[in-house]
Each structure stands twice: as C-alpha cells, then as structure tokens.
Amino acid sequence: MSHDPNCIFCKIIAGQIPSKKVYEDADLLAFHDIHPWAPVHVLIIPKLHLASMADLTDEHAPLLGKMSVLAPKLMKELGVNNGFRTVVNTGPDGGQEVYHLHMHAMGGPRPWLKG
C-alpha cells in the first residue's frame, strides 16, 4: 500500500501517532477526531495514501463505497440515532486541511443549534 512518511494520517495508520480507534480492517481505519464539530465525530480513512478525492480513479470505487457503508454502521454503534452528516473536503477551496483522503462522520445532538 502507498504510504507518505510525512502524512499525519499515515503515521496514525502505522501506529506512530496514537488515536482513539473505533474501527480497523485491512483497508480502512476510523478514529475519533481530536477537534470534534459534533458530540460524535469520527474520521474514516483508507490505509492506502490518496491525497484527496480528486486523486480517485475507477479502481478506487470499491474503497470509497466501503467508506460510505461504514459511516452509518459506526454512527449507529456510537449511539447516533437521529441522523448524521458525512463530509469529504477536497483541495484547498474545498476546505481540506490534511492531504490524505478522509471522510468525516458527525452526529449527535448539537445544543448550539436553535430549534
């Protein structure tokens, strides 16, 4: 698998940087975001280093599908029952800060929102 020795997410995958893991298999790692935007906020990342969604090709479709199917499973396991949000930021104008493809899955009550 491709690995970037300077990538923070590659270092998390390699175990060089600790994370609060919620899921791991041969292809993916999911862990709690250290700066959550919601009560439940996990990042789902491929173990294959892909800088962004812009780098995906047809061969990556199963990987992205696996990430998309994992998000609702994790939200349910983490007690999110009233909906959740998934976000993939791509490139500088898309708000991407870490250049390793990742999906944010966020849910749980957000008391700062007005009803």
DSSP code string of 47-87: SS--S-GGG--GGGHHHHHHHHHHHHHHHHHTT--S-EEEE
Q: Which helix (H) or strand (E) holds 11?
A: helix 8-13
Residue 7: CA count within 13 A, CB half-sphere = 22
| Sign of the alpha-carbon torsion through 90, 99, 71, 75 | negative
49 is an active site residue? no
Cβ proximity of 21 and 31 under 8 Å: yes
- Catalytic residue (choose from 49, 100, 102, 104): 102
List active site positions. Answer: 102
